[in-house]
Structure formats: C-alpha cells, structure tokens
Amino acid sequence: MLEIKNLHVQLKEEDKQILKGVDLTVEPGKVHAIMGPNGSGKSTLSYVLAGREGYEVTEGSATLNGVSLLDMEPEARAAAGLFLAFQYPVEIPGVGNMTFLRTAVNAQRKARGEDEMSATDFLKLVRERAKALKIDADMLKRPVNVGFSGGEKKRNEILQMAMLEPKMCILDETDSGLDVDAMKLVADGVNALRDEGRGFLVITHYQRLLDHIKPDVVHIMAAGRIIKTGGPELALEVETNGYADILNEVA
C-alpha cells in the first residue's frame, strides 16, 4: 500500500537534511506505529507524504498502491486515498466545519468520478460519525477548529478522517495534549476505521495510545532514519527504558 524507499529530504530554504534514507512499507489492513525522540523527522515524513511545501526530496521514492505520491499535488494525494491528521490542526476562520467537511467529501468523490453525496445522506453520516467522537452539533456549525480546545481539534481531525474514508491514514501525534478519555475516543475512532483495505501510520510519543490502537509493527525513528523495527513489545521497551538503549545499540 504505502511504500517508502530510501527517502532523503531536505529543507528548501536552508541546506538542512532532515530525512536521511527512510525505508518503510505499510501493508493494507496493518497499523504501523512510529515512535522516536523529538526532532527525529516524524512530522517531516508525514508532511512530505502529504505534499506540504518547503521540502525537497533529494533521493528515494514514496508510492501509494504503486503510484508515486511525490509528483502529485496535495489534493491529488488526498483523492488517491491519503489522509494526514495534523499534529497541530489548523484553524480556518470563516469556514464552517460542516461546509468544510462536505466540500472535502464531495471534492474527493468528484476526483474519483463519483456523484456528490446528497445533502440528506451527508447530514446523516456526519451527525452519526460526529456523535461517536462526542463532537456536538454546535462544533459542526462553528468555523473549522476556531476556539476548539486541543482535544476538540484532535477529535475533529479524526472526524475528517472518518468522513473521507482514506485508504492510508497517517496520524501525527494525535494523542498529544489529550486526556485519557479523549484519547480513548480518538482510539475508538481509529479502530472503527480499521479494515482489510486500509493502512495506518500512527506517529506517537507514548505507548499509552498503542494500548488502545494495537499496532502490528512498531518503528523507532531517530536522526532522520528508521533505526529499529519490531512488534508492539518495542513500544513497551521504549516506555520502560526510553530511547537511550536503542540508540546505543544501533550506534
């Protein structure tokens, strides 16, 4: 599904190499987690996959179901089934949350050659999915993320994901800043979307989230590379011992 090979990325503005040869394959139906110290390049990896400006790929490739992502506009990547839940969700004053969701859903359907969803069907679906995430009707009417609490913003990211039903979901520290109950809601939202045809890349600092979203594979990223890959036990090891042992072992 998602296949990243030898990905090297540097900043456009300054001559700074951030990703130094990332290799990663996420199979359909699998949940891969990436953990790693601050500044190791986890967010950069997710931004580059989603098509954010400011980064230059100097070597390597990233494909989604065999199609190269790196040459595509961000919206084409979304239409191809890629979704990124941001570490820092953006506020969009003046754009109602519901309008935003409906526009996104229909733009994606259009890009895939499908008919628009009827207003009635959309309303029914968005209410149902919002309810599961404890997002109330008022939050659906307000401008996207404006005045939302940290936890509400993160839940709103999951609502977007649930509405768009992507093939490949990337969550960048969606658990950071969440209390235990909100984290459980986010995890439930993700688990509800787990499906044989869908892959997940869950970036997190903490084992906590992985108690609820059970990953199939755990990767440790440091200094722009994946330095170790294992099963869920790897996340437990990090929780107990920190990254020092793994960094030493690799060095």
Which is nearer to ligand ADP, 11 or 111 (by Cβ)? Answer: 11
Q: What is the dihedral of CA 237, 239, 241, 243, to 10 degrees?
A: 90
Q: Which stretch binds ligand ADP (CB under 6 A): 37-45, 161-169, 187-195, 211-219?
A: 37-45
Q: Helix H segments across the chain?
A: 42-50, 74-79, 97-111, 119-132, 137-141, 150-164, 180-193, 207-212, 232-241, 244-250
Which is nearer to ligand ADP, 12 or 110 (by Cβ)? Answer: 12
Question: How many residues touch Mg ion (CB under 5 A)?
Answer: 3
Cβ(50)–Cβ(75) under 8 Å?
A: no
What track of x and - describes contact with ligand ADP for positions 39 through 78 (by CB under 6 A)? xxxxxx---------x------------------------
The binder of Mg ion chosen from 15, 38, 179, 196 (CB under 5 A): 38
225 binds ligand ADP (CB under 6 A): no
Which is nearer to ligand ADP, 43 or 108 (by Cβ)? Answer: 43
43 binds Mg ion (CB under 5 A): yes
CA separation (Å) from 130 to 83, 104, 164, 185? 18, 16, 13, 11
Q: Which stretch binds ligand ADP (CB under 6 A): 22-30, 33-41, 61-69, 235-243?
A: 33-41
Could you say which DSSP state residue 243 is in? S
Of Mg ion, ligand ADP, none, which one does residue 18 interact with (CB within 5 to 8 Å by kind)? ligand ADP
Cβ(56)–Cβ(33) under 8 Å?
A: no
Strand order in the sheet with 2-11: 17-26, 2-11, 55-64, 67-68
The span from the CA of 76 to the CA of 111, in Å, is 8
Question: How many residues touch ligand ADP (CB under 6 A)?
Answer: 11
Q: Which stretch binds Mg ion (CB under 5 A): 42-50, 101-109, 152-160, 206-214?
A: 42-50
The binder of ligand ADP chosen from 4, 18, 33, 79 (CB under 6 A): 18
The span from the CA of 191 to the CA of 79, in Å, is 22
Pairing of strands 2-11, 55-64: antiparallel
What residues make contact with Mg ion under the rule CB under 5 A?
A: 38, 42-43
What residues make contact with ligand ADP under the rule CB under 6 A?
A: 11, 18, 36, 38-44, 54
